[in-house]
A and B are shown apart, each in its own frame.
Chain A
């Protein structure tokens, strides 16, 4: 149980045209299967850190090892492939491709990654339907274009998509901020539940520390980030 899902050492990152370091993290570890709640004020660099964890951006210095893979050592094409294989994403909003059906949106990761297609087990469509049922999206909506759904429904679809093909890491960037308070808590519980069912590590980001109850670890970005200037 002591395998590390995330292992960061002496990581430094700044955006190309910025004068200051955005992130300077001496050390941060997350063991596999943990549910981590990361919070911090707006603009503190939470999304930036998630982009590094997902291999969308790369740190200028230090080690950013995710699921045993040092991401800064991979070239960008390999990183894209690695991300497709191992990471599920949920964002604040605009998660879905508006003109594709709900089902087509959920199966998208399996189309971009052979590994997730195989891990999805059997028929991709069936798996997608099971996940949609699990997140409580009624069957009448499955074949509708994603743009016709409410924000709350869209976020459920996004959760199903993040989980299809059993990625080891699920990254959620304020997925509930567009929902009302009651639904926020519902969604959060659901996400935490399905992630622990799947054994996935969940890194959940929010500026609202009140949501942290369900999580194994709660951490403030400014506590691990020495470049906290905001």
Chain B
């Protein structure tokens, strides 16, 4: 197994799928000549040419719609948003067009396409550039929503996304591109809709996804020193959600902390907690606690930004609380 960055894992997935199926093309701002704003598409223009690696004007709504139209007649577009913050300009195409086309056409027009790009906060990019969109997007029937947290999942899930005949929203962690991890050699596919227990433990479950998986692992390392073991469930896919994996973990540990990057109200964690209270009510030894961004737009100042974000310290405190150790 090779150790590669999250970025290179994504590039591998793109390259392999572009080679595998000539209906697949990549479209977005700066994806071709510039090699991608985050260099995820590095080298692809040279290999596949300008008809398949397509630089667009700054026109998110327009090119997202071009992707939808191309998918309607059988191509397999990958639409890259420079970041998901800018995808708001295209949300009509994602929500009103891609997600609905199959249903409102009575099953005649499927949408084999991927909308992808970086999601969530990086460092000091402040309010408009530091947002996690998964709870918004996961709300929509007709979409699949993926949030890989590791290089292996990034590669395996992106390949599944490109092969899927449905519109897939693929949320990459903006802070994850440089992280490294082992990626299996050769064909590596991760199924959509299947969570993974990233760390086995028995004292408390952490249910999380995306970038916060790394935070959860850090907390698990920390608490292991105190003899507390955590079961870290990485959802990997938000829609459809692997509720069996959540139930299995909570039934084992009887306690849970749900960690996400986004805001609290109507967040992904709210859905997870709802599921736990319905399906695992008798298993619980403590109320479930959620960790999330503070209910404020992301501030710029370093100290304030740190206060606003969910992090290892907040997660650790939450775990101690559900273990009644605080």
Real complex partners, A and B? no
Listed in ascending order, the chain B residues whose CB lies under 8 Å from chain A are none
Binding site for B on A (CB under 8 A): none
